Amino acid sequence: MVVLKGIPSLLSPELLYALAKMGHGDELGLQIPALLEAILKLFPLDTYVRSPAAVMDLVDSDKELGLETPVWTTYIQMIKQAGSQGSLETVERFAFYERAKKAFAVVATGETALYGNLIIKKGVIPPGELS
């Protein structure tokens, strides 16, 4: 458990270490809006790519059923609140798995939302925002 001022308790010491070690363009796979909110307080999203965040696209049978993914709307709102102008990329299922395997870190959570997996790409902190 993290017991430091200003650090959200959802961010374990191991996760904070991983976030600090990540470089520009490294990716982090995660699954939960509350954790995303905490991470985005510390983590700049990449502004040099069209989509700094990616979700797994629906498989054809779910598309045919018209399955809705309300968690994606939540992600889009959170990404915009973090100052990103980028969009949410949808990645074919097996391509998403391969991309997640290459992520700098993968955070396993108890997220139960359908198609709730998310990959975010780290950006850089502008010089004027460095303390």
Q: 86, 47 in Cβ contact below 8 A?
A: yes
Q: Which residues pair with 56 in a beta bridge?
A: 91
Backbone angles phi, psi at 55, to 5 degrees: -125, 160
- 60 has catalytic annotation: no
Q: 9, 88 in Cβ contact below 8 A?
A: no
Which residue among 26, 46, 57, 115 is the active-site one? Answer: 46
- 17 has catalytic annotation: no
Which residue among 57, 62, 97, 115 is the active-site one? Answer: 97
- 24 has catalytic annotation: yes
Residues 6+ apart with CB under 8 A from 49: 86, 121
Q: 51, 87 in Cβ contact below 8 A?
A: yes
Which residue among 17, 24, 57, 60 is the active-site one? Answer: 24
Residues noted as catalytic: 24, 46, 97
